[in-house]
Amino acid sequence: MSSTYGVIDLFAGPGGLGEGFAGFSTKDRRPFQIVISAEMEAAAHSTLRLRAFVRAHLAKEGCLPDGYEDFHRGGATATLWQDHPLWSEAEHEARRLTLGSPEAREPIAAAISEARSRFGENTVVIGGPPCQAYSLAGRARNRGIEGYKAEEDGRHFLFREYIAVLRALHPAVFVMENVTGMLSSAVGGRRVFEMVLEDLRSLGGKEGSLYELVALSPRSLLRTAPQDFVVYAEDHGVPQRRHRVIVVGVRKDVAEAWRVRRTDGGHALLAERPKATVRQVIGGFPELRSGLSREQDDFRSWAAILELTATFLAELPDVADVPEDAAAALRRLPRQARAGAALPRSSTAAVRESAETADSLIRFLTAASFNHTAQHGRARMSGQTSPDTCSPRP
């Protein structure tokens, strides 16, 4: 792949699909450049804009923006970079637009012109029209709305905004993604997916279809059926049962050049892989704390709570049968915390690292007598501040 392709990302959400294209590299180059990513929801658009800025910074400076890691720790906001010269480029790329509204027409038309001017016929359109009208959950909610009529819900027909861009740009390839509920959703007695395929096949006008519609992982041996457009993530090495309708359209001149058509006119582009577990895929990643605490959640706070709790448990006066090895393990934890040592991340890890036997400590911590005593001892633990002597984790 020697050419560079301009990408138009519609109904972009927070940008997962676009990130896949923009992040793809081959032979030390990135062949896909996003021209515009359009999304109406404010929080998703903020993510789009930030990622556009980060990609631009990596491309031009070779590093992440100053303060980016602090931003992810919650120590800064995105306003940190608003005066950066590349921020305006990110704002030009990531646009908060409601597709289908009059306000969106001019920016989308401008993006189409820009893509055509910069990349010629080497363009790609991606995106997934809103799924709320198609998903099973969304349809269930709609049935509970008094007077709801699917024919009057414009979300069912937003896919035509996507098709309008295809009609204006004639990209080399397009990727349309949606939930599997799209296959069964119906309006006015017609299946929505049938309308989608019909509109896609009509793009060539009287000269015939402009695109070959590709099922990435077809199951039918002969003619492609609607169900063939469903991609089952777990069949391709992803440890998740996520099923999505994905229609890939390849402009016929491009398809001819690639010479990848099967004898029935379809394509099989995704090879099946053995099913994978979460541990197999991410088991080698460094351990992370959850970050779910509503209070300050850093090493110093964690060390202080661990020291306080271990001291409290080891010195409980009302429980006479604390196993000696369990008490010794608990007494060691405060010393570890004060020394800034790597601390256990779970109760079982604490037992394995500090106690000679796991069973005695577990029996003690789960005993009814301990639970009763702990309830009365909580007042002793409240109101104490974290010590400032702990060193950050190396």
Q: Which contacts (CB < 8 Å, 24+ apart) does range 205-210 have?
A: 209/252, 210/170, 210/251, 210/252
Domains annotated on the chain, with CATH: 5-40+97-282 (3.40.50), 299-381 (no CATH)
Amino acid at 334: P
Task: Rank 3-12, 141-150, 272-281 by mean pLDDT and report only the highest.
Answer: 3-12
Indicate the range of 174-183, 301-310, 315-324 predicted with least confidence: 315-324
Compute the distance between CA of residue 247 and CA of residue 303 in angstroms, rounded to an integer.
51
**Per-residue pLDDT tens over the stretch 190-210:** 888 898 999 999 998 777 789
Give the β-pairing of 243-251 and 211-215.
antiparallel
State the pTM of this model.
0.68
Checking if the pLDDT of 297 tops 60, the result is yes
3-state DSSP assignment of residue 126? strand
**Per-residue pLDDT tens over the stretch 40-66:** 999 999 999 999 999 999 999 999 999
Compute the distance between CA of residue 76 and CA of residue 68 in angstroms, rounded to an integer.
8
Amino acid at 177: E
Q: What is the mean pLDDT of the chain?
A: 77
Side-chain half-sphere exposure of 266, counting CA atoms within 13 A: 20
**Per-residue pLDDT tens over the stretch 133-145:** 555 555 556 666 6
Checking if the pLDDT of 315 tops 90, the result is no
Indicate the range of 37-51, 145-159, 216-230 predicted with least confidence: 145-159
Mean pLDDT of 153-160: 74
Residue 7: partners with Cβ closer than 8 Å, 6 or more residues away: 18, 21, 22, 32, 33, 34, 35, 123, 124, 125, 126
Residue-wise DSSP of 261-320: --TTS-------B----HHHHHTTSPP------SS--SHHHHHHHHHHHHHHHHT-SS-T
pLDDT at 376: 40
